[in-house]
Amino acid sequence: MTTQPESSTSTRPTGGDHPQDKARCREGLDPFFSSAHGFATDGKVHLNGNSLGPPRDGLTGELENVVHGQWSARQVQGWFRDGWLDLPRTIGDKLAALLGAAPGQIVVAGETTSTTLFNALIAACRLREDRPVLLVETSSFPTDLYIADSVARLLGRQVVTESGGGFDLFLQENGTRVAAAVAAPVDFRTGERRGIGPTTALCHAVGSISVWDLSHATGVLPVDLDANDVDLAVGCGYKYLGGGPGAPAFLYVPFRLQQAVDLPLSGWHGHARPFAMSPTFEPASGIDRGRTGTPPLLSLVALNHALDPLLHVGIHALHRRSRELAEFFLECLELSRPDLLEQLVSPRDADRRGGHLALRIPGAEGVEEALAERGVLVDSRPPDLVRFAFAPLYVTREQVRHAVHHLSDVVKEAR
């Protein structure tokens, strides 16, 4: 099923008859966002694209072609004759356009974000052998904390966690002891932004390596990796990118560090000449050294397929649209449920948010379930947060209005 044009969305129109509301719901300012884009949304409102976006139409055909047209026809030769071997770089270069990086600095090795972060963090520590501290943002997604802890134990370093302004303050005061500083430009719970530029500049001032987890920003927020002089970055492929369940993660290593990084996952696909089958490891010269083993081809194909509409629209328009949807959500809430708006745990200022926001609602998990029964998909995070993500390609204003209406009902019923 494809996303319907805004005016004929497949969910039942409800509430929101305020004239101002109607005017705001009139689409057409940006023709791209008022037409169908082809996502298998199954008639549901997907406000959980920061967990797992819906599939783009045409994916099954794409996979069919790889399985029957390439794999069954040419077997292992597919790696050489069907562009399979190039995909980690092909996709990396597409991602570069979304992340503000020149081509040749991003690779999709086929690993998870957790593995890729492990790889990046050890490489960062190897660039700063004499520094004892790994600084990690306290409110990081748990996997980042777990991985940092493991890396620290493995290398005999120490993890320090700091939150908000304390993170930058620690860098200012103790930065010369910090090997690597790990943070995210968007808080996975609240959607609050951290400026990549200022924190990276602070890292550089004290000689630390900045390592960014871009999972909640990629495909919805410009991060300008090159302009911000970022050292290392990772991010996942299944959220706003829509690469599908378990879509592989990416690794960014800027040109200036590519020769210097010593990545611990030195698999044969990261070798300068993988098919020479040499007994000793010699890293590839550029970003290819970020490859590991044989990549999960079908997952790469799915991710590659998902990226085209994002590239077509461009990251700045995607961000504008997501922002506009989030603002509309908050305006609808203000009109119909100001009490719920008071439970916003995210910044009210759109400049300070990424693509999602969160409300504190007791019984958040029950609210998530009740909304899902009404075709509105959100996610809850313990203990009491309900998150709403505004993916620009398949969420419409009309759907946002329905979501607020249903949210209001569900919370009323729960009380």
Ligand X SMILES: Nc1c(O)cccc1C(=O)C[C@H](N)C(=O)O
Residues within the interface to ligand X (CB under 6 A): 50-51, 141, 188
Label residue 343 left, alpha or beta by phi (over 0 means left) and psi (-120 to 50 means alpha): alpha
Find out whether 190 and 357 touch, Cβ atoms under 8 Å: yes
Backbone φ, ψ for residue 25 (5° rounding): -80, -10
Residue (144 or 379) nearer to ligand PLP, CB: 144
184 binds, among ligand PLP, ligand X, none (CB under 5 to 8 A by kind): ligand PLP
9 binds, among ligand PLP, ligand X, none (CB under 5 to 8 A by kind): none
Residue 356 binds ligand PLP, judged by CB under 6 A: no
Give the helix/strand (H/E) hosting 88: helix 87-99
Active-site annotation holds for 387? yes
> What is the closest distance, in whole angstroms, from the C-beta atom of residue 246 to ligand X in the complex?
7
Task: Looking at residues 199 to 258 of the shown chain, list those that interact with ligand PLP (rule: CB under 6 A).
Answer: 213, 215-216, 236, 249
Residue 143 binds ligand PLP, judged by CB under 6 A: yes
**Cα gap 230→250, rounded to integer Å:** 15
Find out whether 3 and 38 touch, Cβ atoms under 8 Å: yes
> What is the closest distance, in whole angstroms, from the C-beta atom of residue 202 to ligand PLP in the complex?
21
Residue (90 or 112) nearer to ligand PLP, CB: 112
**Cα gap 374→408, rounded to integer Å:** 12
> What is the closest distance, in whole angstroms, from the C-beta atom of residue 272 to ligand PLP in the complex?
28
Give the count of beta carbons closer than 10 Å to the beta carbon of residue 230.
29
Active-site annotation holds for 394? no
114 binds, among ligand X, ligand PLP, none (CB under 5 to 8 A by kind): ligand PLP
Residue 150 binds ligand PLP, judged by CB under 6 A: no
The closest of 48, 130, 30, 90 to 390, measured between CA atoms, is 48
Residue 184 binds ligand PLP, judged by CB under 6 A: yes
> What is the closest distance, in whole angstroms, from the C-beta atom of residue 249 to ligand PLP in the complex?
5
Strand partners, 182: 136, 211
Residue window 288-327: x/- pattern of binding to ligand PLP, with contact defined by CB under 6 A: ----------------------------------------
Candidates 8-16, 136-144, 165-173, 377-385 — which segment interacts with ligand PLP by CB under 6 A?
136-144
| Cis before 309? omega within 30 | no
CA atoms within 13 Å, Cβ hemisphere of 151 = 32
Residue in the structure block whose two tokens are 């509301």 = 21
Residue (215 or 336) nearer to ligand PLP, CB: 215
**Cα gap 75→69, rounded to integer Å:** 10
Residue (38 or 347) nearer to ligand X, CB: 347
Active-site annotation holds for 226? no
3-state secondary structure of 142: helix
Residue 114 binds ligand PLP, judged by CB under 6 A: yes
Give the helix/strand (H/E) hosting 405: helix 397-414
Active-site annotation holds for 131? no
Residue 174 binds ligand PLP, judged by CB under 6 A: no
Q: Can you list the alpha helix ranges (DSSP code H) found in 231-390? A: 255-258, 297-313, 315-336, 338-341, 364-373
Catalytic residue among 24, 94, 289, 387: 387
Catalytic residue among 21, 82, 168, 213: 213
Instruction: Report CA 175 to chain centroid distance, whole Å.
Output: 28
Contact positions vs ligand PLP (CB under 6 A)? 112-114, 141, 143-144, 184, 188, 213, 215-216, 236, 249
Query: Which positions are catalytic?
Result: 141, 213, 238-239, 387
